[in-house]
Chains A and B, each alone.
Chain A
Amino acid sequence: MNKDQVLSEVNEICRVVFQDPQLQINSTTAAKDVANWDSMTNLFLIDAIEQKFKFKYTLDEIMYAQNVGELCDIIVQRGQGE
């Protein structure tokens, strides 16, 4: 999977986690751009991504990721979208 494909999968996860079936994210989408994206739902999102792509972010990656693009980059770097 390339980054665009990963982003598409993550978009589906975001729609479920943030309860917005119309939500459209891109690489620069961050917490400030999405209603209901708070510290709690951020962990729901990370948890759901980890389960979907079957890997675990490091604690630093969870703490310092700035936007959806960075979360997706890590998935691609780890080869988890294959």
Chain B
Amino acid sequence: MITNVEIAENLYDVYKDLAASGIVTLGKTGRFEIISHPGYAWPNMIYPGQDTRLAANGLDIPSLSQLPSSADSPKLVVFGEEHATPETLQQLSSLRFLPATKWVNMTARIDALQVKNAKDRIKCEVIDSKKEEQWRDWASVVEPVLFRNARLDSRLFQYAEENGLFKLLTGYFEGQPVSTALLYYGKHPGFYMVATSPGFQGRGFAAELIRFGASIARSAGHDSIVLHSTQAGLEFYRKLGFQEYGKLLLYYKMH
């Protein structure tokens, strides 16, 4: 069974792998690590350093007061709910880090995914982000749905593809890109950036793309898959057969 800590670790490892690209900036504040990509929507995050990830070790919250105040510095800190002691949350409040949202860690066995055939089928493809048209198709769904139209850096995704870290998936309906997902290979393969354009939601397209991505993970020898759902996405993933394994808490640093 995958634990909450392992799923969180898996996500932190994605950031660590991306940091090796040299395209993003990696920093530290106390025992937190900071990944930032000024001018781009992602990745920009503060997360527990290697030596404090277990709840028993606690989080070095006071160090967050030392964060750089530049506009380019990440403002979101993410950590597992096992760290959310009353004392930790009190310290965060006193530093004006306020609860922004929660991600529910979920996992499913690939062979147990419950995906019905949608009435309208999409054509699912693994894209090559070096090809401008394919990249724009993928970004044209993800950027408005998940990043408030802020730009993603194609070079970072190209690096991840070339190094076997990511596969970017696009679902096309009648030739139009409508759904996306990012399949990443950490210790556990996982989905990230699952998005469907507003006019096409509720038609089973994302589920179909997840089934497609899961089949790729299975072909690579994996038997389960993880993701982090927002509260709004919980029911959708439960219906697909994903089960909950704890939460990641995201706190936002007020000005």
Contacts and interface: CB of A to CB of B under 8 A. Distances in A.
B3 interface: no
A46 B250 CA distance: 17
Given A19-B148, A19-B149, A59-B93, A40 B254 contact: no
B254 A39 contact: no
Interface string B241-254: 00000000010101
B149 A46 contact: no
A39 B100 contact: yes
Contacts of B93: 59
A51 B35 CA distance: 24
Given A19-B148, A19-B149, A59-B93, A51 B255 contact: yes
B176 interface: no
A51 B96 CA distance: 14
Interface string B99-110: 111000000000
A51 B149 CA distance: 22
Contact of A43 (B148, B149, B254): B254
A2 to B, nearest CB: 25
Contact of B98 (A19, A43, A51): A43
A56 B253 CA distance: 13
A50 interface: yes
A39 B252 CA distance: 10
Contact size class for A?
A: 10 to 19
Q: Does more than half of chain A's interface fall in helix, strand or loop, or is it mixed?
A: helix
A40 B100 contact: yes
A4 interface: no
Interface in B141-167: 148-149
Interface string B215-255: 00000000000000000000000000000000000101011
A51 B71 CA distance: 12
A1 interface: no
Interface string A26-47: 0000000000001110011011
A44 B98 CA distance: 11
Interface of B: 93, 96, 98-101, 148-149, 250, 252, 254-255
18 contacts: A19-B149, A39-B99, A39-B101, A40-B101, A40-B250, A40-B252, A43-B100, A43-B252, A43-B254, A46-B254, A47-B254, A47-B255, A50-B254, A51-B255, A56-B254, A59-B93, A59-B96, A59-B98
